[in-house]
Structure 1
Amino acid sequence: MINKEKKFSRKSAPEQTARMVETIFGCKWSLTLFNLLAHGINRPGEMVRNVEGLSTKVLNDCLRKNTEFGILEKRSFAELPPRVEYHVTPFGEKFIAVLEQIEQLQKEAENNDD
């Protein structure tokens, strides 16, 4: 008698992670935002001043999404005038490393097309 028991089940993309990657890549400013943070620019006003074409509204939306996903954390300081800074979380560091790997794969794929 032959055992025809299936050893593998259908594998699908993790929903939350797939949605997170799609949302972050969907925001054309997220990668720029991560670059700013890597260079120590972590205050929203300073971010807007350093990036041509980036509006406060779009930046706030991008920061909110990244904060909701746990990639960034918002730190508010009880000062006058109020001060807010954003920092990459430990989870965010892992996520950004994955994005960098995807970027590297893209470069390799482009080189293979030549």
Structure 2
Amino acid sequence: MKNNEKLFSRRSAPERSARMVETICGCKWSLTVYQLLKHEINRPGEMVRSVEGLTTKVLNNCLRHNTEYGIIERHAFNEVPPRVEYRFTDFGRKFVAILDQLEELQQGLDDD
């Protein structure tokens, strides 16, 4: 190997996923929504009633961002009265697993 050869090049965060994580983690309600979905609370009205301080407007904005990034998906049922439910996508389940690992890492740091 020559002395001038570089083994590694400068690496930056993947643009799309970094922006997604910044947007989602910057929303103080996204992690709460994930917790609700894990406990099968998947209807917006039920979500608002389950969390003190969560408003319909803020929830709808949070759900929209998470839907745009493909973390959750919206299911509208053709019923009267109308019914909407949210679920994790396959990607969303993987994403939440990563967040769970970050939480475990933080707990390990807190224990030290």
In the superposition, the TM-score normalised over structure 1's length comes to 0.93
- How far did 1:2 drift? 4.0
Deviation at 1:23, TM superposition (A): 1.0
Does 2:96 align with 1:104? no
**2:76 matched to which residue of 1?**
76
2:5 counterpart residue number? 5
Could you tell me the TM-score, scaled by structure 2's length? 0.95
Q: Which amino acid aligns with 1:42?
A: N
Pairs aligned (count): 112
**2: CA distance between counterparts of 1:100 and 1:5?**
39
Written as runs of structure 1 = structure 2, the 5 A alignment for 1:1-114 is 2-112=2-112
Residues in 2 aligned to 1:49 and 1:110: alpha-carbon distance in whole angstroms: 32
What RMSD over aligned residues (CA atoms) do the two structures have, in Å?
1.3
Change (3 A) 1:2 1:49: closer
Give the residue type in structure 2 aligned to 1:84: V
The 3-state SS of whatever aligns with 1:76 is: strand
Runs ≥4 in structure 1, deviation > 6 angstroms? none
TM-superposed deviation, 1:3? 4.3
Corresponding residue SS for 1:87: strand
Which residue identity is paired with 1:68? E
My pick for the range that moved more, 100-109 or 66-75, is: 100-109
Offset at 1:43?
A: 0.4
